[in-house]
Amino acid sequence: IPIPVGALEENNVLVFEAGFFGGTRPYDDYTIADVYLVLSLVGSEGDGDGLRVAIDFKTNDKRNVINPHSKGRVWVAVLSDSEFDAQQVDPMTVALGAGGAVPDKYVSKYSNRDGILDLVLRFKTPEIGLQCGDTDVTLTGETYTGEKITGLDSLVTVGCK
């Protein structure tokens, strides 16, 4: 598969994941496997949207199931790693979803059990601007030094009839 190397920004990482999907099936004298290839470009500085950061929408729910009509609140973690310290994110600059929800509470917490302190923020669900059928949500913000950040996580909407 040709890779458009010229399109890659400096410091970006191209991630490949390959594996079998479904199973195998006979075709004449051969066995055909359904194979999938997932390509994702993980951005870094200079890509227009700011620094890409990992987030965990609904920190207590691996499936990230949410009812867009809920009047409740949801916790979202900005995850630290060996190259990014989420404690450097200014919570007052963070916005979530199409509605631009701002956090009503935030804490420093070990959210994903990697031993690195994360920033965990709470948002009012109606303010996020989720719609039935949405499959992801974006978080934006800035660090205390003014560097823009962007994070994206998948979700599943329920309660939509």
What value does the mean pLDDT of the chain take?
Answer: 80
Q: Is the pLDDT of residue 21 over 50?
A: no
CB 15 within 8 Å of CB 113: no
User: What does DSSP assign to residue 22?
Assistant: E
Task: Give the separation between CA 45 and CA 10, rounded to whole angstroms.
Answer: 8
Q: Report how far Cα 16 is from the mean position of its chain's Cα atoms.
A: 18
Q: What is the pLDDT of residue 68?
A: 97
CB 68 within 8 Å of CB 131: yes
Task: Give the separation between CA 85 and CA 95, rounded to whole angstroms.
Answer: 18
Please, which pLDDT band fits residue 113 given cuts at 50, 70 and 90?
Answer: confident
CB 125 within 8 Å of CB 73: yes
- What pLDDT, in 10s, does the model give residues 91-106? 999 999 999 999 999 9
* Percentage with pLDDT > 70 across the chain: 70
**Mean local confidence (pLDDT), 57-74:** 95
Beta bridge partners of 36: 19
**Mean local confidence (pLDDT), 22-34:** 44
Taking CA atoms, 77 is separated from 32, 53, 107, 111, in Å, by 42, 10, 9, 7
Task: Give the separation between CA 161 and CA 159, rounded to whole angstroms.
Answer: 6
